[in-house]
A and B are shown apart, each in its own frame.
Chain A
Amino acid sequence: MSKPKVAFYWCASCGGCEEAIVDLAEDILGVVEAVDIVFWPCAMDFKKKDVEAMPDKSIVATFLNGAVRTSEQEEMAHLLRRKSQVLIAYGACSATGGIPGLANQFRLEDILQFAYHDGPSMANEAGTRPQYSSTHEGHELHLPVLREVVRSLDQVVDVDYYIPGCPPTPKLTKAAVGALLEGKLPPKGTVLSPDIALCDECPRKASKPTDLGFVEFKRPHQAIIDPEKCILAQGFICMGPATRGGCEAVCIQGNMPCTGCFGPTSRVKDQGAKFLSSVASNVGPREEGAIDQVLAGIPDPVGTFYRYGLAKSLLRRKVPKQG
């Protein structure tokens, strides 16, 4: 019997998720022994036409990382969806938009204007911009089209499972591959990580007071973080209460606050709104002026509460002015 076929692909991502696969270290040998990797552009030489030549549903599972911003990424997402029995959104960008999703705070035109003209490090006197189609020595060349909006994978194609994280941990990846090979996958749509807030598995949980009563917020570069106490209780924004566990609090163990990369639990629709609710309710003062003074310590609520989840939030992006 031939081995089950597996594919890996990347869209708008940094490469960290590919790194996470390699981080399986010697365990990757077990994976390679159990499956046939039929497509993995980052590591192996297969082409799009090889995928196109495969029968539909012939790939058992595709692990796709990265958000979707270009026409090419859309095309590959659709192609791999068609060829795969199971499509897994791998990593924060694919699951919830991730860091690339923060671009949804700007119009595409404003981003291009800054990147190719106004940026302080830009030297582009001719005002050149990449064109979607151009001619060079008689050949017509095409670039993928940038879309106006950054999307999570499930905003473009049907997704079966999600493995969260920036990047996912080797342990979760291994568990998912194991479940896949043993045919022990949970119901469709499940996020393959424990469905409980990070605080639950945080080693500093015992030092979190019931009443936080914030009088100021600090950022990690502004003060020294006590390595024993609950980071939120020290006045640093730690997304733990509104973020799914499963990472085993790796950032906290490195004495850095949680930034929310695992996304919300299944009971929460919008991670940022839920965290805002929790953190603001716990501000100490009762008068508007004093409340605002404390909240001024959070200068960028969108970038802080939706660092990985803006594309999948209830509003999806900064709503552009109409007309």
Chain B
Amino acid sequence: MNDKPWEPRIVAFFCNWCTYTAADLAGVSRMKYAANIRTIRLMCSGRVDPQFVMDAFAKGADGVLIGGCHPGDCHYGEGNYKMLRRFRLLQRMLGDLGIEPERLRLEWISAAEGDKVKSVVNDMVERVKALGPFDLPGQFQSWDREVMSEAEAHAHAGQQEAK
């Protein structure tokens, strides 16, 4: 059905004030970089809730990239520091839960650094490619195969009784 080779899907949470603008700059400057990222614009990297990251993996992301303003440059003062602190613990915790550290990345990219968007995305795509697919939705399905027989037996018993 689908003969295309596997390509990683990376969800990118970019801050409106810096990395998102930088990605825009990379675009208007006609820079070419890997087409594997799906960008989501947030008002600040500090808005990235660890739930977003885990939900992205749970829904099939192979990697998550977060882009924020350089230290000292946050539009709101503190947001990027909050993200950095969360990132340090989240990456460690996700490691304990079997998610390789290369699948989650935090980068400071200012609005002027279109070329950095390009190099970071290309580099991350290479690293995630080397790790291979994560495919958590597929894993959920395979884990739950073990409970299907019991469920089917009882659905059947219910129907029998209804007759």
Question: What chain A residues lie within 8 Å of B71 (beta carbons)?
Answer: 286
Q: Are B93 and A302 in contact (CB under 8 A)?
A: yes
CB distance from B160 to the nearest CB of A (A): 11
Q: A residues 194-217 with Cβ under 8 Å of B? A: none
- B 62-84 to A, binary, CB cutoff 8 A, 1 in contact else 0: 00000000010000000001101
Q: Are B88 and A292 in contact (CB under 8 A)?
A: yes
Of A120-128, A172-180, A313-321, the one with at least 4 CB within 8 A of chain B:
A313-321
Question: What chain A residues lie within 8 Å of B99 (beta carbons)?
Answer: 315, 319
Q: Are B97 and A79 in contact (CB under 8 A)?
A: no
Taken together as a complex, chains A and B put the C-alpha atoms of A269 and B47 apart, in Å, by 16
Q: Are A295 and B93 in contact (CB under 8 A)?
A: no
The reply on A71 being an interface residue by CB < 8 A is: yes
Given A74-B147, A78-B150, residue A277 in contact with residue B88 (CB < 8 A)? no
Q: Are B88 and A295 in contact (CB under 8 A)?
A: yes
Q: Are A314 and B51 in contact (CB under 8 A)?
A: yes
The reply on A147 being an interface residue by CB < 8 A is: yes
CB distance from A214 to the nearest CB of B (A): 9
Of B4-12, B19-27, B32-40, B138-146, the one with at least 4 CB within 8 A of chain A:
B138-146
Q: Are A276 and B86 in contact (CB under 8 A)?
A: yes
Question: What chain A residues lie within 8 Å of B150 (beta carbons)?
Answer: 71, 74-75, 78
Taken together as a complex, chains A and B put the C-alpha atoms of A105 and B98 apart, in Å, by 9
Q: A residues 276-323 with Cβ under 8 Å of B? A: 276-277, 279-281, 283, 286, 288, 291-292, 295, 298, 300-302, 305, 313-322
Q: B residues 119-155 with Cβ under 8 Å of A? A: 132, 134-136, 139-140, 143-144, 146-147, 150-151, 153-154
Given A314-B55, A316-B140, residue A281 in contact with residue B82 (CB < 8 A)? yes
Size class of B's contact patch? 35 or more
Question: What chain B residues lie within 8 Å of A155 (beta carbons)?
Answer: 144
CB distance from A151 to the nearest CB of B (A): 7
CB distance from B112 to the nearest CB of A (A): 23
CB distance from B117 to the nearest CB of A (A): 22
CB distance from A1 to the nearest CB of B (A): 25
Residue of A nearest to B57 (CB): A315
Q: Are A105 and B96 in contact (CB under 8 A)?
A: yes
Taken together as a complex, chains A and B put the C-alpha atoms of A74 and B155 apart, in Å, by 13
The reply on B3 being an interface residue by CB < 8 A is: no
Question: What chain B residues lie within 8 Å of A117 (beta carbons)?
Answer: none
The reply on A228 being an interface residue by CB < 8 A is: no
Q: Are A291 and B84 in contact (CB under 8 A)?
A: yes
Question: What chain B residues lie within 8 Å of A279 (beta carbons)?
Answer: 89
Among the listed B81, B92, B98, B134, which residue makes an inter-chain contact with A301, where contact means beta carbons less than 8 Å apart?
A: B92
CB distance from A275 to the nearest CB of B (A): 9
The reply on B90 being an interface residue by CB < 8 A is: yes
Given A148-B146, A276-B86, A314-B58, residue A79 in contact with residue B154 (CB < 8 A)? yes
Q: Are B146 and A315 in contact (CB under 8 A)?
A: no
Given A75-B150, A291-B85, A298-B89, residue A274 in contact with residue B50 (CB < 8 A)? yes
Q: Are B81 and A315 in contact (CB under 8 A)?
A: no
Counting chain A CB atoms within 10 Å of each CB, the highest count among B89, B134, B143, B144 belongs to: B89
CB distance from B163 to the nearest CB of A (A): 12
Counting chain B CB atoms within 10 Å of each CB, the highest count among A56, A105, A283 belongs to: A283
User: What are 20 A-B contacts defined by CB distance under 8 Å?
Assistant: A78-B154, A82-B161, A147-B147, A273-B50, A273-B90, A274-B50, A276-B86, A276-B90, A280-B89, A281-B46, A281-B86, A292-B88, A295-B88, A301-B92, A302-B97, A314-B57, A315-B58, A317-B97, A318-B98, A319-B134
Closest 5 CB pairs of A and B: A319-B98, A78-B154, A273-B50, A301-B93, A314-B54
